[in-house]
Amino acid sequence: MGLRINDTIPNLTVETDQGSFALHDFIGDNWAVLFSHPKDFTPVCTTEFSAVAQLSDEWAARGTKVLGISVDSAEEHTKWKTDIEAVGGAKAGFPIVADTDLALAKAFDMLPADAYLPDGRTPNDTATVRVVFIIGPDKKLKLSMTYPMNVGRNFAEVLRALDALQTAAKETIATPGKLDSGSGCRRANDRVRRRRDRKIRLDRQEAALPADGQTQILSIACARKTKAPKIGGFFMSDGSCLGRRRPRNRVIGRMQINR
């Protein structure tokens, strides 16, 4: 069975053009984007990998490591990076896995279990290996995208999805479908923070009441129902007002208050 959302990824030791390491050690406390492709030196894959190289500052700003995957050798990856950097105009500083035995491709369900590489293979022999995985710091799969051979990936969308995942994980919210460069997440975060801060202020005001303060509250000003001032609050028996808010009825616990 393939990996599902929230499954812990296999901790395979992989060979790359930058040496060997275990996947969990590579990720550490960071987020990670694993992206695979059918074969080195192909035009579509070169444009994809150059786009990833151009986004190096964006990955770093999000505490995210990127890792390419191919069934070609580490030596071929090293040679191919010359083309990647020439096309993208940016250094390809990320490692690329040399998955020559298909161990990683099979473990991540990118190929059938009985798949093998024939001599003189073409990209068609690894046609299903064009996948994106986003992994969280907990080493669990957060998102996966699978593309056919004839469709190159848009890494601006991968970046958008990463922003959404990170924001949702931090704020425990759902992000909008038309999220644009995090703006929708930021607006959602602002609303969450305002609601949270408002609740904290109300809790503090209620906690500041005297022991019998609940019974001392005489009225709640409501501009639409009374002639009270447009700015209302908690009116105590001594005439003082605890907290002033723009009126709008809301019931919290046993009290009807204005906010």
Q: Render the burial of 189-221: b for 16+ CB within 10 Å, e for the rest.
A: beeeeeeeeeeeebeeebeeeeeeeeeebeebb
**Rg (Cα) of the chain, in Å, rounded?**
28
Q: Render the burial of 51-68: b for 16+ CB within 10 Å, e for the rest.
A: bbbbbbeebeebebbbbb
Which residue in the list 17, 40, 45, 72 is annotated as catalytic? 45
Which residue in the list 7, 99, 125, 138 is annotated as catalytic? 138
Beta bridge partners of 133: 34, 144
Q: Identify whether 119 is a catalytic site residue.
A: no
**Rounded Cα gap, residues 21 and 98, in angstroms:** 12
List of residues 6+ apart from 214 with CB closer than 8 A: 254, 255
**Rounded Cα gap, residues 65 and 56, in angstroms:** 9
Active site residues: 45, 138
